[in-house]
Amino acid sequence: MSLKKTSQPVQIAASVPLTIAPGVAGQNTRTIDLQLSPLDNEVFVVTAVKIDFEDLPLPLVTSSYTGTSWIQASILKNAPQGGAVQSIGNSNCIASSRVVVFQSVLQGPPVEFNQYEILENGPMDSPPSDQDYLDIIATDNFVVQFANSERWSGQTLNMVCRVYGYRAKADAATYAALVQSEVLSA
């Protein structure tokens, strides 16, 4: 693969709010424009990704309940077909972070009890030193996807992300292969 670096390191930050209607799961996507030049075979080489959830409240529980709730944010090369939640198991996904809350609530007299455990898995804060890049974006934008289970209904959640990388120019054959692969991975 022939790539020629054409910029200094670039950081792209985004914030995606998610307001959830009562009783339903929610999803929001945001497209981030990279302003790449397809005439110059320009691509964006992703070197690292950081995803965080801001001020994460506990899921709402209105009666006795034992179960799990989740939220997930993903950085995608392009919008998924059918709006399905994407994870790193999909070739379209560059990075993904998921928070799962295991919650047990007992309400009512004489005792109220709320026990929870939060588990988070997420992308590497920085790639291993021997890794040149995480992924290459050949089209001129990427998508941030944010989704949740219905237990967070009626609340507003917010995720923030930062994508690190640089612009590069690909030779014609490499650029064509990258664009075709990206378009077919949606």
pLDDT by residue (tens digit) across 64-102? 777 777 888 899 998 877 777 888 888 889 998 888 887
> Domain coordinates of the chain in residue numbers?
3-184
Place of tokens 């290459």: 136
Q: Measure Cα distances from 165 to 4, 57, 85, 136 in Å.
A: 13, 32, 24, 9
pLDDT by residue (tens digit) across 96-137? 888 888 777 777 665 555 666 666 666 555 556 667 888 999
More confident residue, 43 or 103: 43
pTM of the model: 0.82
Is the Cα torsion angle 28, 145, 68, 104 positive or negative in sign? negative
Burial of 94 (0-12, 13-18, 19+ CB in 10 A): buried
Positions of E strands within 139-186 = 141-148, 156-170
Residue 161's Cα: distance from chain center in Å? Answer: 8
- Give me the pLDDT at residue 99, please: 84
Residue 147 contacts residue 16 (beta carbons within 8 Å)? no
End-to-end CA distance of the chain: 22
